[in-house]
Amino acid sequence: MGNAGLLGFMNISIVLLVIGFTVLLFMVQFELGPLSRLSTGRKWLMTLVLGSGMVAFSIKLVIIFTLLRFPEQTIRAHINMQSSQSLVQWERRNQITPVPVAVGMQKAYVWQALPEVAPAPLWNPTTPEKVALGERLFHDKALSIDRTVSCSSCHDVRKGAGEDHRRTSLGIGGQRGGRNAPTVWNAAFQSVLFWDGRAPSLEEQSKGPPLNPVEMGMPSLQAVEQRVRENESYREPFARAFGAGQVITITQIAAAIAAYERTLITPDAPYDRFVRGDDKALSAAQLRGMELFQSVGCVLCHSGPNFSGASLFDPSPSPQRLFPVFPERKYVGRYRLTRDAGANVPGSKQGIWRIPSLRNVALTAPYLHNGSVDNLAEVVRIMATAQRGKRLGNDIEGAKFIVWSRQNRTISRIESVPLSDRDVDDIVAFLKSLSSEMLAARSRAGTL
């Protein structure tokens, strides 16, 4: 019921209340009072006792009228009394500047820690035997035509962060690929694989590089099978993993590699400790960056515990996104962001790419699909402008835009606050909190 309906109801209630009280007054004064031989004072007392229900109803009407006339002041005063003291204390501890919250906000974003075990398909359960076999295959250069390149050549998981730190990777014969090698750590949580999202599972993804003429150069999947079969030392591990007496197939090879990759997860980042309850796991700058990551809209694509809408957690309707959304921005030409269209039609002015995970992003430079950016702060600027349409600058005032909606015939004002240098630094600080402590220790030791 709207305010107008409530006011109409109140007007009718007041009229009925006055009529009822008048009737009661006459009954007490001229009928019940004289019959009971009550004094004047007792007549009024009887009137109030018999009319107590009406009095209570009158008080309720006064409260409703007050809330209708002064809802914002009344409710806000109550909220301020209850929560302002604790909120100010928390903001001071974390050096966070209060930001006005609009009425009617959407449901708050829920931050989640990474699970410690990756899910596996029912037909390919993860077993120790399969993982051991998959690890060996992952590092076996015999799966390439000239026996010089393995999966780990581009995805170094023993000494690195699951990639090779090159802009684009090197394949057989020193050939250079066209795209940056993404980290294989936490790939087990992605719903689609490769930069263009063409593989629906780890099993299918593992069949791709051996056949790529630049990467591993095998002529067919049957050739991969034969290469593994001719190595007698593989017979026993395959028998332990899949059962004795079976012929080695590409399905088994892919299943073993995928099972191994599902063990390559990093739930040990400071961010995970913070979400699980360690309030001291993040610094003040990282907390500010975490809030900016949400308010700027980064979570619209990099969501969930794996920081990717292309993940198995509550997957996005589309695991791919247009990039860049705003191709006129200066960074697009500088870093050749549209030279490769990804899953889009070749020659398109915008690419379509799988949403990458931001886990361990501070350890996996260079960045983007073409490896054209070395600096994480620069990536934040690119994504803020070319993808989110934000302005960069240190002017606090910001800018105001008048927006007219022809369809809805409404006009509104949008205030755009630019992303400052400190904001960029804070977001970078937060992104660093997504780094595995195990991988970060390797980096500090100089082995990454």
Instruction: Decide: 215 and 209 in contact? Cβ < 8 Å.
Output: yes
SS3 320: strand
352 strand-pairing partners: 322, 342
**Tokens at residue 348, please?**
């398109």
**Tokens at residue 177, please?**
């690929």
Residue with tokens 């209630």: 13
SS3 185: coil
What residue type is 304 in one-letter code? G
What residue type is 139 in one-letter code? H
Of 357, 31, 39, whose CA–CA distance to 190 is shortest?
A: 357
What residue type is 93 in one-letter code? R
- What are the C-alpha distances in Å from 96 to residues 87, 290, 432? 10, 11, 19
**What's the rounded Cα separation, in Å, for the pair 143 and 154?**
14
**CA dihedral for 173, 179, 183, 189, sign (positive or negative):** negative
User: Strands 320-323 and 351-354, how do they pair?
Assistant: antiparallel
161: number of CA atoms within 13 Å, CB side?
Answer: 26
Phi, psi of 71 (to 5 degrees): -65, -45
**What's the rounded Cα separation, in Å, for the pair 325 and 352?**
10
SS3 413: strand
Burial (0-12, 13-18, 19+ Cβ within 10 Å), 356: buried
**What's the rounded Cα separation, in Å, for the pair 186 and 207?**
18
Among candidate residues 215, 225, 261, 378, the one labeled active-site is 215
DSSP string, 358-416: -TTGGGS-SBSTT--B--HHHHHHHIIIIIT---B---SS-EEEEEEETTTTEEEEEEE
SS3 77: helix
Burial (0-12, 13-18, 19+ Cβ within 10 Å), 280: exposed
Q: Is 215 annotated as catalytic?
A: yes
Residues annotated as catalytic are 215
